[in-house]
Copies of this chain bind each other. A is one copy, B any other.
């Protein structure tokens, strides 16, 4: 987690939530903001000492992970430029459980809790935060259902599609070991699923790098949860 000396004015608007703020609200919010660069596997947030800080991904992607006592772990959410990490900070509520790690290298705008809470009575920011909270709830509900009902193959396809959207690119770095941790499954299981997709010419895998060749067929291999979650994110910004 290396810090960059760079003013937030440079490119704050790459984040959809920030983008929807009127100028005056953004002005007020941005005073204490800072842009930092995250690298894959950086721990952004941990149970032990939750920072009083919110993070708005500009180009980075962050995954939220649940940890079990026996060491098992699984991703329960992921955050790109459509969202934020640290809603609990804005809500003045009890902290999130688990930890959050960086998934794809990139920048995040990062904001002290005090600043965010001070600005949170601004009408549009408040409205967006409330809508984003509900969106988070709806997405988590769909994820819970997906984990309960759908196969590793379907969930692999869904994960690849979502990450592709976040990366904004059909190519992105990813190892099967990493993906298996996200899905809470075996590395070998992911290898099987990805192998099938590869044999069908839908994706190409090569040493820590993946290329989505046919996103339409990948969407067919995925469960409907991909589509539903994508739509749910979009609903935040519906009038």
* Chain B, residue nearest A65 (CB): B145
Whether B149 and A93, one on each chain, are in contact in the complex, defined by CB atoms closer than 8 angstroms, is no
Does A68 make an interface contact (CB < 8 A)?
A: yes
* Chain B, residue nearest A64 (CB): B141
Given A68-B149, A133-B133, A224-B69, is A141 in contact with B93 using a C-beta cutoff of 8 Å?
A: no
- The one of B94, B130, B131, B148 that contacts A235, using a Cβ cutoff of 8 Å: B94
Report the minimum CB–CB distance from A1 to chain B (whole Å): 23
Report the minimum CB–CB distance from A104 to chain B (whole Å): 21
* Chain B, residue nearest A231 (CB): B97
Given A93-B131, A138-B96, A140-B140, is A68 in contact with B145 using a C-beta cutoff of 8 Å?
A: yes
Give every chain B residue within 8 A of A136 (Cβ-Cβ). Answer: 137
Does A201 make an interface contact (CB < 8 A)?
A: no
Report the minimum CB–CB distance from A139 to chain B (whole Å): 9
- The one of B77, B134, B142 that contacts A66, using a Cβ cutoff of 8 Å: B142
Whether A91 and B133, one on each chain, are in contact in the complex, defined by CB atoms closer than 8 angstroms, is yes
Give every chain B residue within 8 A of A223 (Cβ-Cβ). Answer: 68
Give every chain B residue within 8 A of A137 (Cβ-Cβ). Answer: 87-88, 96, 133, 136-137, 140
Report the minimum CB–CB distance from A48 to chain B (whole Å): 16
Give every chain B residue within 8 A of A236 (Cβ-Cβ). Answer: 94
Whether A184 and B97, one on each chain, are in contact in the complex, defined by CB atoms closer than 8 angstroms, is no
Report the minimum CB–CB distance from A26 to chain B (whole Å): 21
Q: Mark A137-170, 1 if CB is under 8 A from B, else 0.
A: 1101111110111000000000000000000000
Does A208 make an interface contact (CB < 8 A)?
A: no
Does A220 make an interface contact (CB < 8 A)?
A: no
A44 and B179 CA atoms in complex are apart in Å by 38
Whether B97 and A228, one on each chain, are in contact in the complex, defined by CB atoms closer than 8 angstroms, is yes
Give every chain B residue within 8 A of A232 (Cβ-Cβ). Answer: 97
* Chain B, residue nearest A120 (CB): B130
Binding site for B on A (CB under 8 A): 64, 66, 68-69, 72, 74, 76-77, 87-88, 91-94, 96-98, 127, 130-131, 133-138, 140-145, 147-149, 183-184, 223-224, 228, 232, 235-236, 238
**What are the 10 tightest A-B residue pairs by CB atom distance, in nearest-first order?**
A93-B134, A66-B145, A147-B148, A140-B140, A144-B144, A147-B147, A91-B130, A76-B141, A76-B144, A148-B184
